[in-house]
Amino acid sequence: MADEFSYVNLPPEQLVDLEASQLQASAIFAPASGLYVSQPNLISNPTPVPGGSAIEVSGTGLEEMADASYPLPIRREEFRLDVDGRNPQMTASGTISGSMASRIHWIAKLIASGPSKWTGWIWYKDGAVASFPYTSVQIQATRSSIPDQRMVTAIFSGGGAPNRVRRLRFKSPYFHSVNFEFDSAEGENPTLSVNSHAHPNHPASLPSENLTIQKVFQRAGFYVTTSPGGTVPVSGAGPNARWSDQEMHDAMQVYWSRFANKSQWALWVFFASLHEMGTGLGGIMFDDIGPNHRQGTAIFNDSFVATAPAGDANPAAWVQRMIFWTACHEMGHSFNLAHSWQKSLGTPWIPLADEPEARSFMNYPYGVSGGQTAFFADFQYRFTDSELLFMRHAPERFVQMGNADWFDHHGFEEANASPEPSLKLELRANRNVNLFEFMEPATLELKLTNTSSQPCMVGENVLSDCDSMTVIIKKDGKPARQLLPYVRHCVLPKKRVLGPGVSIYDSLFISAGRNGWDLAEPGKYTIQVALHQEGEDIVSNPLSLRVAPPRGYEEELLAQDFYSDDVGRIIALDGSYFLEKGNDVLQKVIERLADRRVALHARVALGRVLMQDYKQLVAEAVDGRKSVAVRLRSAQLDTAKQHFSAALYDKPEEAAVSLGHIDYKWYMDRISDCVAQQGDVEYATRMQQQLYQVMSGRRVNGRGIPEGVLQRIKERREGYGHPAAMSEPTRAGAWMFEEGVEATTLH
């Protein structure tokens, strides 16, 4: 952190703006929100061990080194608690800093679980996430009227790791610090404040006050300092006296006292007469120039923002408010905030919904229904909750000026994203309309294509290795969650070549993971995936899908048992002999919801278990003494076949849609191979014949199944007559589905 901003160092003007509650003398009412920090810890190994204990070094003098560029394996932890004060987001987030390579950032959504206690699920992780497996956090705050005595204790749990307990001390009621410098072109005045009631059109509930720009950003959670402003000669704008972006960038380098070619929590704000675009440009975050974006922003005093609508009740107040609003808007862009109607564009840090009617600094007042009159009648001089969440809790490099590039790299791991990626990742559902039935488990398809003209190396399991993939699931109106998949494979990191134009495919089960059912409630969801590959991040398209509401009481009732960890695991892992409670639920689903797609998934999961012999460890009492025995449970092939016939054979189109093409084929292959080995070649051949028919007829948004895949189905079917030719199927067949340039035209 560039600036020290401990509570004790706050200058008087910052104290004045703190919420009244934040200055309460009573410890009970003392606020808990703010930034907490750990004492730096020395770890014995630069690679953190999950749940591993750290050696305390407080008092050894090593603390000071934590602010350097971490040349030693010293870990420092920041913790942001956002539960009270102005516009609380009921969120905690943290950054654990070691080296750049081992930095971890996490975000949790909180609910109160007692006085000064909160429980949260961790829905977002970034950085070295493999060393931070936790899925939930419990927080206890120690409130005090004396800031130095405020503490939080955070217990991280879940993810199969032992609990991780941290005590952190209060540092500041703000989440980050930032410095502003307001300079003006010769002859221009900066507008740095507004009287909130000066214009008669304002919300009735809006307090009357003299609001400054600094106060707006303090309320957004920032400790704001201001560098002295100065004047910029208008000669910098050239003979036409109108500023181009490059001219302003040049002026910024000369006249901004803090200019540096690096990322820092500091921003130059420039008030001038006009941009070279003319009166139509009210202001611009001009700095998408050079390697460090978003450091400078400008407001044009003589542009359209200085013209009140005809007949306005107080034109002078209207103009001052509009210029003030414009300044905060442009500064918002410097924090990497997009326009309210552009939130879903590009690669947002989490999938975001557009907010075209938002009463935010980031929305155009004249763009909402009812125009600027309607906008200002409801405008509370604030950013929206999703904007505040981003500014307060997103990884620092997304927000900090001069760090992540403006907008285009406004997302996952953009520090590593290549400007010209050679790989393209597509995320899709194998259905024409992305609608899922209530309780229908959702499996999507990933397609990775080498779009370059050169062969490239990719991990052999790049599309199934959960550690090299981030999956974000965002339900409309709710915060995004990160899918934490149940472990499917443990594989050696082998590489293989992906030729130019070649694609590989795999399926991705997204409904449930280690932090519960992410896709359950009816409503609209947006899903996005990032692959972390060779130090580069490949981000997929955001995919929108909808979960339909339940059809009736029976579904609602069964859903209560269905959305359990047991059932999530059984579906994700293709069945389990041991999760008996979950199997009972699936049996009920088959009986009571026979015509629903969820029954098809239930049958596949139960059928898969019955297909093979199972060894099971059981505790037994023998002669009054406990012992452990291995029991063999034999396969029940006939029952398994019944399940598969009902799930896959009777309604094959339905199965291909609901399971997804890849998994549908995989199940069909496994079952037909299994029955062929048992000698029922006729049944196996029939299954492959049907698989061929279904797959060759499939068209999703005009695309069919690649010819190579159909050819391999034929080969498998013919192979059943010649057992020696049979091959072991591979899961999802990332490479089995490999297609060259000519085949991609089909798919």
Partner 1 sequence: MPLLHVAFQEGFEADTVAVYIDGNEAFRKDNVKTRLQIGYADSFENFLPEGSRTVNIVVPEKNLSQTVQLQLTAATYLGVSIEQCNINCKISDQPFGYV
Of 339, 428, 474, 601, which lies in the binding site for partner 1, with binding defined by CB under 8 A?
Answer: 339
Of 76, 215, 321, 333, which lies in the binding site for partner 1, with binding defined by CB under 8 A?
Answer: 333
Nearer to partner 1, 85 or 282 (CB): 282
Would you count residue 305 as binding partner 1 (CB under 8 A)?
A: yes
Q: What's the closest the beta carbon of residue 326 comes to partner 1, in angstroms? A: 5
CA distances to 1, 65, 72, 163, 722 from 43, rounded to whole Å, are: 21, 14, 9, 17, 60
Q: What's the closest the beta carbon of residue 422 comes to partner 1, in angstroms? A: 19
Which stretch, 253-261, 298-306, 512-520, 544-552, contacts partner 1 (CB under 8 A)? 298-306
Question: Nearest to residue 353, comparing CAs of 378, 386, 320?
Answer: 386
Would you count residue 321 as binding partner 1 (CB under 8 A)?
A: no
Q: What's the closest the beta carbon of residue 408 comes to partner 1, in angstroms? A: 8
Q: What are the residue ranges of helices labelled H in 419-462?
A: none
Nearer to partner 1, 216 or 502 (CB): 216
CA distances to 578, 581, 627, 638, 678 from 616, rounded to whole Å, are: 8, 16, 14, 21, 23
Distance CA 192, CA 574 (A): 61
Interface with partner 1 (CB under 8 A), residue total 26
CA distances to 177, 294, 296, 336, 408 from 400, rounded to whole Å, are: 10, 9, 12, 8, 15
Tokens representing 167? 């005590």
Which stretch, 31-39, 248-256, 281-289, 586-594, contacts partner 1 (CB under 8 A)? 281-289
Tokens representing 669? 């292959």
Cα angle, residue 204 at apex, residues 201 and 208 outer, rounded to 5° = 85
Residue 513 CB partners (closer than 8 Å, separation 6+): 483, 484, 485, 486, 568, 572
Of 77, 84, 126, 330, which lies in the binding site for partner 1, with binding defined by CB under 8 A?
Answer: 330
Q: Print the binding letters for residues 364-383 with partner 1: x by CB under 8 A, - otherwise.
A: x-x-----------------
Q: Print the binding letters for residues 261-280 with partner 1: x by CB under 8 A, - otherwise.
A: ----------------x-xx
Q: What's the closest the beta carbon of residue 366 comes to partner 1, in angstroms? A: 7
Nearer to partner 1, 362 or 471 (CB): 362
Tokens representing 396? 């620092």
Distance CA 140, CA 117 (A): 5
Would you count residue 93 as binding partner 1 (CB under 8 A)?
A: no
Which stretch, 297-305, 419-427, 491-499, 654-662, contacts partner 1 (CB under 8 A)? 297-305
Of 17, 63, 288, 561, which lies in the binding site for partner 1, with binding defined by CB under 8 A?
Answer: 288
CA distances to 199, 348, 416, 470, 724 from 531, rounded to whole Å, are: 51, 15, 11, 6, 38
If one counts every other C-beta atom within 10 angstroms of the C-beta of residue 487, the result is 12
Would you count residue 406 as binding partner 1 (CB under 8 A)?
A: yes
Of 35, 338, 471, 519, which lies in the binding site for partner 1, with binding defined by CB under 8 A?
Answer: 338
Q: What is the DSSP string of 583-599?
A: HHHHHHHHHH-TTSHHH
Of 90, 151, 281, 415, which lies in the binding site for partner 1, with binding defined by CB under 8 A?
Answer: 281
Would you count residue 398 as binding partner 1 (CB under 8 A)?
A: no
If residue 78 lies in a helix (H) or strand (E), which one and from where to where?
strand 74-82
Side chain identity at residue 213, one-letter code:
I
Of 407, 505, 664, 692, which lies in the binding site for partner 1, with binding defined by CB under 8 A?
Answer: 407
Would you count residue 357 as binding partner 1 (CB under 8 A)?
A: no
Distance CA 24, CA 123 (A): 33
HSE-CB of 114 using CA atoms within 13 angstroms: 6
Would you count residue 345 as binding partner 1 (CB under 8 A)?
A: yes
Would you count residue 428 as binding partner 1 (CB under 8 A)?
A: no
Nearer to partner 1, 357 or 680 (CB): 357
Q: What's the closest the beta carbon of residue 643 comes to partner 1, in angstroms? A: 42
Q: Which of residues 214-253 bind partner 1 (CB under 8 A)?
A: none
CA distances to 239, 270, 353, 354, 469 from 345, rounded to whole Å, are: 38, 28, 9, 9, 21
Would you count residue 500 as binding partner 1 (CB under 8 A)?
A: no
Nearer to partner 1, 251 or 337 (CB): 337
Which stretch, 3-11, 195-203, 284-292, 430-438, contacts partner 1 (CB under 8 A)? 284-292
Tokens representing 434? 């992305």
Distance CA 315, CA 308 (A): 5
Which stretch, 261-269, 325-333, 428-436, 507-515, contacts partner 1 (CB under 8 A)? 325-333
Which stretch, 123-131, 336-344, 531-539, 572-580, contacts partner 1 (CB under 8 A)? 336-344
Buried residues in 200-224 as b, exposed as e (16+ CB within 10 A): ebbeeebeeeebbbbbbbbbbbbbb
Q: Which residues bind partner 1 (CB under 8 A)?
A: 277, 279-285, 288, 303-305, 326, 329-330, 333, 338-339, 341-342, 345-346, 364, 366, 406-407
